[in-house]
Amino acid sequence: MAKRKKRSLNTRSNMSQVNIVNVNQKSKKNKKTKKNNNKKKFKLFILIFIFAVLILSNKDFLQKILPSSSNKTLQVIQKYPTNQEEEVRFYDDLLIKWNGKSIIALNKDGTSKWEKEINFENPLVFLGTDTIYICEGNTGDLYFLDLDGRSLNRIQMESHIKKIVEKDGLIFITLETEDGEKLTIMDKEGVVQNNILLEDKRLLNFSANEDKTNIVLSTLGIEKGDLNSKLIFYKEKGEYVSELDFNEEIIISMEFVDENSIVVFTDSRLYFVEEGNTLWKRDMEHIKDMYVNTEDKDIYILTTNTLEVISYKNKVEESISLNGEYNKVEGFNKGVLLVGDNKIIGINNGRENLKYDTQEKIENVIINDSDIILFANNRINIMTEKKINR
């Protein structure tokens, strides 16, 4: 019996040792788990803290995650009847339009100021910044009128005139000659500065820098069976400088941003060209429009559902996702306007600050100082900003 008791006591002693070991292991495991949990919580706290600091120190980021709040809309202050075929321009308190038969000047209140009927066989009319250009397309006679309808000058081009445009302080005239299409560039006094034979190329666009010392043309032609665009650079008196090829691309728009630099966008890329050489390029999809803010040195690129702001140094300053599609971007009051089929929004400092909706289809929008000129439903609406009362 004594032996059995001793055996029983030894068994209990062994079990107690095992239990103590298990308790110690469990205690160590719990401490380790608790320590790991504390580490995870500390790491999570650090991440939340860093995220909060980033938000509070970055206003642009904060604005992007907050819902937009438009505090302005547009209101109509004047209406004029018109149609899509008419060319229209505003000059301070004067509206002048060309309807294919007559040039009509209206006061801001809609009353008539003067009207001039054009009886040419093939008339062309262009409304410039402070001059009206009328030409008899077949004979090449070109007339300059002031904003009161008085004749200022007459020039005989002696060739068939296809198109006349005033841009960047110069007059660009496309002529049909025996040697092919020719571009004549003259100053606003009618003095010819340059004659450029285009040969078999189609002229797309033209531009001049601010002091008119550099002129660039964009053309479209076929080379080796492919459509190719070119930029062709000239000095003010017609001296050829150089040209730049855009293989299998079509130049949509171009604009001088300083004396020697040009922003170009094609059907697939954005380019920054300096002194005739490509400084950088960026692949872009579905480019719809471009606006350059030369004061801030920013390029606004409108795509299908995004507005990107890119610096002259090819840095993306901002990328804004858009709700809905827009067709046009225009500078307005230190920000931009985006124009859609039935909607206009204003964006300033990365936030939507203006919103205007209409049931009518918006055909075109022109910015005239602080006024917005909207073309819709055979009517011109002169509009201005209006604060929304909340």
At 4-20, the pLDDT tens digits run 444 443 444 444 454 54
Per-residue pLDDT at 69: 67
CA distance 268 to 254: 14
Residue whose token pair is 């040792």: 17
CA distance 105 to 116: 9
Per-residue pLDDT at 226: 82
Per-residue pLDDT at 262: 96
Residue whose token pair is 């571009």: 183
CA distance 221 to 311: 31
> Domain limits of the chain?
202-284
Per-residue pLDDT at 181: 85
CA distance 257 to 295: 9
Per-residue pLDDT at 310: 95
Copy the structure tokens of residue 251. Answer: 């130049």
Nearest residue to 300 via CA among 286, 288, 285, 310: 310
Per-residue pLDDT at 148: 94
Per-residue pLDDT at 20: 47
CA distance 339 to 93: 25
> Is 160 buried (19+), middle (13-18) or exposed (0-12) by CB count in 10 A?
middle
Per-residue pLDDT at 276: 92
Residues of the chain with pLDDT below 50 are 1-16, 18, 20-21, 23, 52-67
> How many CB atoms neighbour CB 140 within 10 A?
17
